[in-house]
Amino acid sequence: MNQAPAIAHPARSLAALAVREWLRLSRQPSRIVAAIGTPLLIWVVLAGGFAQSADVSSHGAAGMLPGAMSLTVIFSAIFGAISLIDDRNQGYLRAVLATPTPGWVIGGSKLLGAGGLAMIQGAALLPLAAVVGARPEPLGWLHALGALAVMAVFATGLSLVLAWRVNSVAGFHGVMNLILMPMWLLSGAIFPLSTAAGWMRLVMLANPMAWMTDTLHAALTGQAAAISWGWPAACSAAALTLISGCAVVGRRAVA
């Protein structure tokens, strides 16, 4: 029965583990509803509530759509990170680490699987842009998808790195409320950079989610980006979390 030892091709392992993430999601429909439904609800409420406000009229329903999409991406990334905690607590991760699979493949597959899902779920709101009057250029749709991809990599990578340090789902909720939600609130999702107080503008300029939301906003509305260096900075931040996520999650020794 013993066979010659073999080491799987990294690409095959990467794909197999990423497909597992998607299979798991298909069996947890509540995750899909929560990831898309909650941001959608927040968007409807905020857009409706601010509809007559002169201060944010330029922001409006179309202007707030990127914020709803970025929140969808963040929620999906959070669920992906929670699945990492589950994998660790249920012993699944330990069994995968005990295979010849390279560490970066294990981390990369989480990013590809959970990040891919985050991007797709964020993109599911894209058609709403046409409904609320945003008229992106044909290239704008592509830019929006690119921005969503970068945002998904960043949010998922950051969530996974944070989740690695936390032992329980309950603990991760605390991290989420302390780090990820403030990042979203200060991303220009609800109020634009231009109307924020001076000190807050500085905080927003230092927030990678703001660079990404701004890029998405510019892609959908056709307006010039408020943060001119947002796109390259966003890509750099995403690349950094991609590497960190692969390195941290794929670390073979867990103790």
Partner 1 sequence: MHAPSATNATDPADLRGQRAPSPTLAVDCRAVVKKYAGSTPTRPDALRGVDLAVAPGERVALLGPNGSGKSTLLHTLTGTISPTGGRVSLMGVEIWPNAHAGGAIRAALARVGVVFQSPSLDPLLTIGENLRLHATLTGLCARSGRSRVESLCEMLGIADRMNDRVKTLSGGLARRADLARAVLHGPELLLLDEPTTGLDPLARRAFFELLDRIRGASSPPMTIVLTTHLLDEAEWADRIVLLAEGTVAASGTPTSLRAGVGTRVMRVSIEGRRVEDLHSIIRAHGFTASQVQESLVVSPVDDTRAAALAAELARMGCAFSLTPPTLDDIYHALVQRRAGEGARA
Choice between 1 and 224, CB closer to partner 1: 1
- The DSSP call for residue 124 is T
The distance of closest approach from Cβ of residue 180 to partner 1 in the complex, given in angstroms and rounded to an integer, is 24
Give ∠ CA 143-128-229 in degrees, rounded to 5. 30
Go through 76-93 and write b for each residue having 16 or more CB atoms within 10 A of its CB, e for each that does not.
bbbbbbbbbbebbeeeeb
The distance of closest approach from Cβ of residue 105 to partner 1 in the complex, given in angstroms and rounded to an integer, is 9
Choice between 5 and 198, CB closer to partner 1: 5
Choice between 98 and 224, CB closer to partner 1: 98
Choice between 130 and 247, CB closer to partner 1: 247
| Environment class of 3 (CB within 10 Å of its CB; exposed 0-12, middle 13-18, buried 19+) | exposed
The distance of closest approach from Cβ of residue 199 to partner 1 in the complex, given in angstroms and rounded to an integer, is 39
Choice between 24 and 143, CB closer to partner 1: 24
Residues that bind partner 1 (CB under 8 A): 1-3, 5-8, 12-13, 16-17, 20, 23-24, 27-28, 87, 90-92, 94-103, 252-255
The distance of closest approach from Cβ of residue 85 to partner 1 in the complex, given in angstroms and rounded to an integer, is 14
Quick check: 99 and 219 in contact, CB under 8 A? no
Q: Is the dihedral of CA 140, 232, 69, 192 positive or negative?
A: negative
16 alpha carbon, distance to own chain's centre: 21
The distance of closest approach from Cβ of residue 198 to partner 1 in the complex, given in angstroms and rounded to an integer, is 44
